[in-house]
Amino acid sequence: MSSQPQPSASDALIQIRGLSTVLNGKTIFAGVDLDIPRGGITAIMGPSGTGKTTLIRHITGQLAPDAGEIIVDGKNVARIGREALFALREKIGYLFQNSALLTDFSVFENVAFPLRQHLRLPEELVRNIVLTKLQAVGLRGAADLMPNELSGGMIRRVALARAIVRDPMLIIYDEPFVGLDPIALNQILKLIRTLNQTLGITSILVAHELAAVSKVADQIYLLAGGKIAAHGSPEELGRGETPWTKQFFTGEADGPVPFHYPAPDYATQLGLA
């Protein structure tokens, strides 16, 4: 596990302390502490069912913890009022795993949708903002196309343009690399890093692909067993120096995460004993 110091309050956009969550009788988190530095790219990784999506729901205020604090931009998400929570969410961009484009809207209208829904802007300003964001992802020329005319990589890039259309302080990427061919994957990786650097956006990646994550992430948190199983740079975790990192990053069946779900004795159940 990394021994690197945690960010101070001044350079951490998100601070989580003592997070404990139980859902349907299952402990998801048991005293989790983590920090998301401002302007950095942090990856959240871990085996399926370890709480990655639940953690995002806590950060965005969709789910209150049983104990602990989630501080986002200086605000305790679980304790702020409804209006303040909505105002905070408007500063967060979200790239959905399936991109979630509106199939009956053109590329331009998909990107313009958040502006039209939340702001009253002159049409000329909407046009300029949308074209600027499409230019940033290399798709200004595709503004009039429909989603069914786009490749998988282009769809993901349109979704990214929509996620940044309101200049958020934070972008959450939910499995952004799933289903992408190598060319599209490299485009998305380059865009994530470029947008992070040029716009000063803080980024959270929820992903499984260490090779892709290693190209853009500044740090990785590996969730497992309700705790932070490992934390450090991609290079540190990639060495697999703990049982958790060794199993997760090499795909071994035997390790802290059991391959077999708990069951009665096999021979007894088959009537052989």
134 is a domain residue: no
- The rounded distance, in Å, linking the Cα atoms of 245 and 243 is 6
How does residue 5 score in pLDDT terms, banded at 50, 70 and 90? very low
Q: Which of 68, 92, 94, 90 is nearest to 79 (CA)?
A: 68
pTM of the model: 0.81
Task: Print the domain residue range for 60.
Answer: 1-91+206-251
Dihedral of alpha carbons 240, 245, 249, 250, sign = positive
State how many domains the chain has: 1
In a domain, 233, yes or no: yes
Whether 103 maps to a domain, the answer reads: no
Q: Above 80 in pLDDT, residue 1?
A: no
- In this prediction, residue 58 has a pLDDT band, given cuts at 50, 70 and 90, of very high
Query: Has residue 172 got a pLDDT over 70?
Result: yes
Q: What integer is the mean pLDDT of 81-94? A: 90
Confidence band for 119, pLDDT divided at 50, 70 and 90: confident
Instruction: Report the C-alpha dihedral over residues 20, 207, 188, 63, rounded to 10 degrees.
Output: -30
Residue 244 has pLDDT above 70, yes or no: no
Domain assignment present for 8:
yes
Arithmetic mean of pLDDT over the chain: 86
Q: Taking residues 217-234, what's their average pLDDT?
A: 91
Percent of the chain at pLDDT > 90 equals: 48
More confident residue, 97 or 72: 72
Whether residue 44 is predicted with pLDDT greater than 60 in this model: the reply is yes
Going by pLDDT thresholds of 50, 70 and 90, the confidence category of residue 8 is: very low
Q: What is the mean pLDDT of residues 17-23?
A: 94
Average pLDDT of the residues in 102-116: 94
Q: What is the 3-state secondary structure (H, E, C) of the chain?
A: CCCCCCCCCCCEEEEEEEEEEEECCEEEEEEEEEEEECCCEEEEECCCCCCHHHHHHHHCCCCCCCEEEEEECCEECCCCCHHHHHHHHCCEEEECCCCCCCCCCCHHHHHHHHHHHHCCCCHHHHHHHHHHHHHHCCCHHHCCCCHHHCCHHHHHHHHHHHHCCCCCCEEEEECCCCCCCHHHHHHHHHHHHHHHHHHCCEEEEECCCHHHHHHHCCEEEEEECCEEEEEECHHHHHCCCCHHHHHHHHCCCCCCCCCCCCCCCHHHHCCCC
In a domain, 36, yes or no: yes
pLDDT at 271 over 60: yes
Structure-token match 């932070």, residue found? 228
Least confident of 3-7, 24-28, 253-257, 265-269: 3-7
**Closest Cα partner for 98 from 175, 161, 24?**
175
40: CATH = 3.40.50.300
Task: Give me the mean pLDDT over the 102-128 stretch.
Answer: 92
pLDDT of residue 261: 66
- In a domain, residue 189? The reply is no
The predicted pLDDT at position 208 comes to: 82
pLDDT at 197 over 90: no
For residue 42, being part of any structural domain is answered with: yes
Confidence of residue 3 (pLDDT cuts 50, 70, 90): very low
**Is 228 part of any domain?**
yes
Q: What is the pLDDT of residues 132-167, one digit of tens each?
A: 999 988 899 999 999 999 988 899 889 999 999 998
Token pair 């890093």 is found at 193
How far is residue 93's CA from residue 116's CA, in Å, rounded to a whole number? 16
- Whether residue 6 has pLDDT greater than 50: no
